[in-house]
Amino acid sequence: MATTAELFEEPFVADEYIERLVWRTPGGGSRGGSEAFDPKRLLEEFVNHIQELQIMDERIQRKVEKLEQQCQKEAKEFAKKVQELQKSNQVAFQHFQELDEHISYVATKVCHLGDQLEGVNTPRQRAVEAQKLMKYFNEFLDGELKSDVFTNSEKIKEAADIIQKLHLIAQELPFDRFSDVKSKIASKYHDLECQLIQEFTSAQRRGEISRMREVAAVLLHFKGAYLRNDIFEDAAILCQRVNKQVGDIFSNPETVLAKLIQNVFEIKLQSFVKDQLEECRKSDAEQYLKNLYDLYTRTTNLSSKLMEFNLGTDKQTFLSKLIKSIFISYLENYIEVETGYLKSRSAMILQRYYDSKNHQKRAIGTGGIQDLKERIRQRTNLPLGPSIDTHGETFLSQEVVVNLLQETKQAFERCHRLSDPSDLPRNAFRIFTILVEFLCIEHIDYALETGLAGIPSSDSRNANLYFLDVVQQANTIFHLFDKQFNDHLMPLISSSPKLSECLQKKKEIIEQMEMKLDTGIDRTLNCMIGQMKHILAAEQKKTDFKPEDENNVLIQYTNACVKVCAYVRKQVEKIKNSMDGKNVDTVLMEFGVRFHRLIYEHLQQYSYSCMGGMLAICDVAEYRKCAKDFKIPLVLQLFDTLHALCNLLVVAPDNLKQVCSGEQLANLDKNILHSFVQLRADYRSARLARHFS
């Protein structure tokens, strides 16, 4: 078996294995060898060797099975051990989680306890610090500094920290009650700052870099002491004080003073302006514009005060450059902020007014159709579209107008101050166009359009005529608008080409408004005449001028005349209150002429008896009294002539020619005279026809 095992070599090759077995078997060699070839012996050897291999195979098989069993047993034991380890690991992980939660809980408790301790300790520390500051403040209040921190020069760092805190506190105190102590604190603040500067200078000369760094760290928190709450006044006082000293100390005092002023502008004022403007630049345009105007004005006033000092040859240019360096970033886009704010503010004022009236603005049409309607209305005086009931509301508000004009006035003032001279006319014109847009177009023109739409047709009964109220308020607003144009816009554009542009725009706006006012007044007069027609039609009876009983007429004038005269007097008073200047006479004359035409045509609708003619004369006499209230000579002359014509209704036939040739009737057309004579009830009689022919 050992021999068989030796035949196996790695790697195993079957052919080589048989070859080795043959060569080792006696008589198994090839022919020609030392020993003759014996096939039987070789066969026997093969048979024996096969048996040995079978035995070896069985033995190896048993060994393999034994090893497999052992491996399976060990695998089960290992799996069992792994399960136990997993269980142990789960328990350990659970314990770890519990421990972690406990640690977190304890940590939370510790943090909370720390916060509580800090919450108790911090107020305590602040209280202690406040107590110390109160003690130091009392020393300034008493006027005697006893604390070692102020008297010991080696404790200048601690003194600097205290004086900075006291300086901040002092700034919050009212100036009138604490002016003395504020001045003392500011003085000490300034002294310590000077000491620190001196110490820094000495350290620099000695080359002590670490000491310079230490002093600079303390100086960094000093911002200069101001004796007042006004940095501009303080700057002026500082420059006045230094101006008295630099001449005695320096050989070139103007250069030193100019450097001081430059530092004041570029460090103090620039920082102050930035703090005041940046805070509200994006959030509050109104406050931003007010602050910008105020700061720029105060800065230019300070510059004017500094002009009295000797600052070199061209101090005007020097100071202008300093002002420009502070405000250039704000002035570059000033007009955009101004116009944007003015538009939004004006829109808000108008919207707030219409909201208070619970009114939703109507869209006023534009374009071809609206232009066509406007031309038709101007030429024919016809109401286009349905009438709108405004319930007596004019939709004009003097309060709104005053607010808009006030906002624009402030915008003009800021524009004058903040605009570059070359941009001033153009910027002022932009502000003016905004005023025109919101005051003239969005408010006045809208009210006129609404008022025109609210005028009823001339044949409406008991119509309420409110357009004259619109006229009255519009006239008042025009005067205010014109006053602002002259007072605030003209000075800004008077010497520029924008003057003619503004005047032209103003002329166009006023002409457009006057055209609509004229149209509205004309249609209102038509409505008045229509109302008078309704009164005459309802109250005048045919029997008034041809009574059944000529001897029993007890009235002085007809009821129709009474009501018409009362209505006319009311409308005359309203016209006088709504107009001003020559407009009153113009409108009253037009109203009087239409009034006369109405009565003239009305009288020609009736036939008159002798007593009826007398009553007609009485009516016309009453109409003439009413016409005197117009105080228009032409109107009174028309009614005088009408009164004379009515005499033709009652004069005796024999006197007709004499009356017709009288002073008042001589120049009238014969057809007019004839038309009145024909109204006589006795006109058909041959006697009357003969006398008038």
Quick one: pLDDT band at residue 438, thresholds 50, 70, 90? very high
Query: Residue 450 CB: number of other CB atoms within 10 A?
Result: 21
Of 243 and 361, more confident: 361
How far apart, in whole angstroms, are the C-alpha atoms of residue 615 and residue 270?
90
Task: Choose which CATH entry (3.30.420, 1.10.10, 1.20.58, 1.10.260) describes domain 540-691.
Answer: 1.20.58
Average pLDDT over residues 671-675: 84
pLDDT at 337: 94
pLDDT at 440: 94
C-alpha dihedral over 15, 19, 25, 30, to 10 degrees?
130
Quick one: pLDDT band at residue 34, thresholds 50, 70, 90? low
Among 38-52, 118-132, 473-487, 621-635, the range scoring the smallest mean pLDDT is 118-132
How far apart, in whole angstroms, are the C-alpha atoms of residue 571 and residue 590?
13
pLDDT at 6: 57
As beta bridge partners, residue 240 has none
Core vs surface per residue 656-692: b (16+ CB within 10 A) or e: beebbeeeebeeeeeeebeebbebbbebeeeebeeeb
Give how far Cα 671 sits from Cα of 307, 665, 675, 677, 678, Å: 89, 12, 6, 10, 10
Question: How many angstroms separate the first and last alpha carbons of the chain?
Answer: 183
Quick one: pLDDT band at residue 250, thresholds 50, 70, 90? low
What is the tens place of the pLDDT at every residue in 163-194?
A: 888 888 877 777 777 778 878 888 888 788 77
pLDDT over 90 at 352, yes or no: yes
pLDDT at 595: 95
As given in the structure block, the two tokens for residue 460 are 């409406």
Of 75 and 142, more confident: 75
pLDDT at 32: 43
How far apart, in whole angstroms, are the C-alpha atoms of residue 354 and residue 434?
19
pLDDT at 678: 85
pLDDT over 90 at 244, yes or no: no
pLDDT over 90 at 313, yes or no: no
3-state secondary structure of 680: strand
- What are the two backbone dihedrals, phi and then psi, of residue 625, each rounded to the nearest 5 degrees? -60, -40
Quick one: pLDDT band at residue 2, thresholds 50, 70, 90? very low
Among 127-136, 534-543, 592-601, the range scoring the smallest mean pLDDT is 127-136
Of 134 and 31, more confident: 134
The domain spans of the chain are 1-37, 38-142, 361-374+390-531, 540-691
pLDDT at 389: 58
Of 661 and 378, more confident: 661
Contact 619, 558 (CB under 8 A): yes
Average pLDDT over residues 208-219: 74
pLDDT at 367: 43
Average pLDDT over residues 630-636: 93
What is the tens place of the pLDDT at every residue in 453-500?
A: 888 888 877 667 788 889 999 999 999 999 999 999 999 999 899 999
Contact 505, 436 (CB under 8 A): yes
Quick one: pLDDT band at residue 377, thresholds 50, 70, 90? very low
pLDDT at 553: 58
pLDDT over 70 at 321, yes or no: yes
Quick one: pLDDT band at residue 20, thresholds 50, 70, 90? confident
Name residues whose C-beta falls within 8 Å of residue 628's C-beta, 6 or more positions apart in sequence: 636
Q: What is the pTM of this model?
A: 0.64
Quick one: pLDDT band at residue 369, thresholds 50, 70, 90? very low
pLDDT over 50 at 559, yes or no: yes
Query: Residue 30 CB: number of other CB atoms within 10 A?
Result: 8
Quick one: pLDDT band at residue 35, thresholds 50, 70, 90? low
pLDDT over 50 at 405, yes or no: yes
Mean pLDDT of the chain: 83
pLDDT over 70 at 147, yes or no: yes
pLDDT at 353: 93
Percent share of the chain, pLDDT over 70: 87
